Amino acid sequence: MKIKDFGVEQWMNEYETKAKYNLGETCVSSLSIRELCELVGVDVNDFAKQLVDRRLTYGAIEGAFELGAFELKKAITRLYQNLTPDEIVTEHGAIGANNLVLNALVEPGDEVIAVTPTYQQLQSIPEAIGATVKLLPLKRENGYLPDAEQLRGLVSDKTKLIVLNNPDNPTGALMSQAGLQTIVDIAKSVDAYVLCDEVYRHLTQEDGYSPSIIDLYDKGISTSSFSKVFSLAGIRLGWLATHDQAVMKACLSYRDYETISCGQLDEMVGTLALKNQAVLLERNRGIVRENLKVLEEWVHQQPHITWLKPKAGTTALLYYDFDLPSTIFCDRLMKEYETLLVPGSFFDIENSLRIGYAFETAHLRDGMNQLGKFLAKLEQEAR
C-alpha cells in the first residue's frame, strides 16, 4: 500500500531531539511514574513493587477480562455518558485507534469526508486504502468550525464515514454540542459513521463537560489516549469507544492482525491515572489555561504575528507576514535559534506555524523569546 509521507511526524522525528526549545510539543507537561504517584496520593514504592512483580505475559486480547484491564476500561467509561466497558477497545495510542477504525471500516471505492486542517493520518490512511476522500476546510473566518452547508453539499449516498477532530489540531477550535449535533443530523441523512479524534478532549479553557460524538450518535466513534490530556505519552496507550456493535466486531477482527494486546505495565499506569482522573484534569487544565495567557500576551506584542485564539487543546496556529515558506521559516528557526515549531504547510496552510503551549511555562517563555529574536531578524532582512 502506497501512502503519503507523514509530514508532521517526520519533521518532529528530525528535529525534536535536537531542539533546545521545543515549541512543537503537544502533550501537557509529561509526568514520571513517581510524579504521578505523588500527585494522586499513592505510595510510589508500593506501586513500583506491583510493576516489578508483574509477569510480562500478553494482556487480555480485548483488554476486558483481566482485572487491571477491566478496571482500566471501567475508568475510561467515566469520561463519557452512558458507555459500558465492552464498548471500548484499547490500542497503542490514539494513532493506533484511528488506524484500527479506518482500516476496519474503509474499503476501496468508499467515500470519506475529512476536515482539514487536521492530523494527517485521518486523511491519508483512507486515501491510501483507495477511498475517495473529500476535504471539508475549516476556515479561519468561521472560527475553524465545520461549515454545515458545505458538508451537506459534500455528502452523498456513497458517504461511509465523516472524520472530525475535536478539539482540532492544529487550530484549537472546539465544536459545541449544537455543532456536533448538526454534524450528526447530516450523517444520519446518508447513514454515515462519524469518527471523531478526541485526543485533546477535556482540555478546555472554560469549565464544563465536553460532549463526545458517542454521547450524541449511535454510529459515532470516539478515539483518544493518555498522551495529551493525561501527560502519559510514554505508555503508548489509547482507545476507541462506540455503541455500534458492527463497528466493534469489525475492529476486533482487524485488531487480531495488528495489535494482539496492549502492554500490561502500560495498562497498570493508565488505570492508576484514570482512577484519579479528576486530579490530573485539574492539574492539566490549570497548565493549559495559564500558558495560553502567556502565549496570548506574547502574540499581542508581535507586529508580524496574527492568530485566532484557541478554545481548547494544546496547540495554536500562528500566521506570519513574511514572504517565506513555512518549512524554510521553521528550518532556519531551528538552525539559528535551536527552537522547534511545525510548518503550517504540513496542514496545507502556508505562512503559518503550529505552536504547542502545554509544557513548562518557563520553557514556553524561553522558546517564545527565541522566536521573537528570529522575527526581529527577519524584519531586518526585509528592510
Last residue of a domain, one of 231, 248, 278: 278
The answer as to whether 43 is a domain residue is no
My answer on whether 221 and 294 are in the same domain is: no
My answer on whether 232 and 371 are in the same domain is: no
pLDDT band at 68; cut points 50, 70, 90: low
Specify the pLDDT at position 65: 40
My answer on whether 240 and 333 are in the same domain is: no
Specify the pLDDT at position 370: 98
The answer as to whether 45 is a domain residue is no
pLDDT band at 69; cut points 50, 70, 90: low
My answer on whether 21 and 102 are in the same domain is: no
Query: Domains in the chain: how many in total?
Result: 2
Query: What's this model's pTM, rounded to 2 decimal places?
Result: 0.96
Specify the pLDDT at position 276: 95
DSSP string, 278-332: HHHHHHHHHHHHHHHHHHHHHHHT-TTEEE---SBSSEEEEEE-SSS-HHHHHHH
The answer as to whether 2 is a domain residue is no
**88-126 confidence digits (pLDDT tens):** 999 999 999 999 999 999 999 999 999 999 999 999 999
**192-206 confidence digits (pLDDT tens):** 999 999 999 999 999
My answer on whether 140 and 174 are in the same domain is: yes
Residue 69: which domain range? 55-278
Mean pLDDT, range 169-194, rounded to an integer: 98
Q: What is the CATH number of the domain that holds 327?
A: 3.90.1150.10
My answer on whether 25 and 142 are in the same domain is: no
My answer on whether 25 and 65 are in the same domain is: no
The answer as to whether 249 is a domain residue is yes
pLDDT band at 63; cut points 50, 70, 90: low
My answer on whether 142 and 153 are in the same domain is: yes
Specify the pLDDT at position 59: 77
The answer as to whether 41 is a domain residue is no
On whether the CB atoms of residues 131 and 107 are closer than 8 A, the answer is: yes
Residue 233 is given by DSSP the state G
CA 204/CA 217 separation, integer angstroms: 22
pLDDT band at 275; cut points 50, 70, 90: very high
pLDDT band at 383; cut points 50, 70, 90: confident
My answer on whether 344 and 289 are in the same domain is: yes
Count CB-CB contacts under 10 A for residue 31.
Answer: 22
pLDDT band at 58; cut points 50, 70, 90: confident
Mean pLDDT, range 41-53, rounded to an integer: 96
Of 306, 269, 277, 283, the residue nearest 360 (C-alpha): 283
Specify the pLDDT at position 242: 98
On whether the CB atoms of residues 69 and 267 are closer than 8 A, the answer is: yes
Residue 57 is given by DSSP the state -
Give every CB contact of residue 53 below 8 A, 6+ residues apart in sequence.
Answer: none
Last residue of a domain, one of 228, 259, 278: 278
My answer on whether 114 and 258 are in the same domain is: yes
My answer on whether 271 and 174 are in the same domain is: yes
Mean pLDDT, range 69-74, rounded to an integer: 80
The answer as to whether 317 is a domain residue is yes
My answer on whether 273 and 322 are in the same domain is: no
Per cent of the chain over pLDDT 90 is: 93
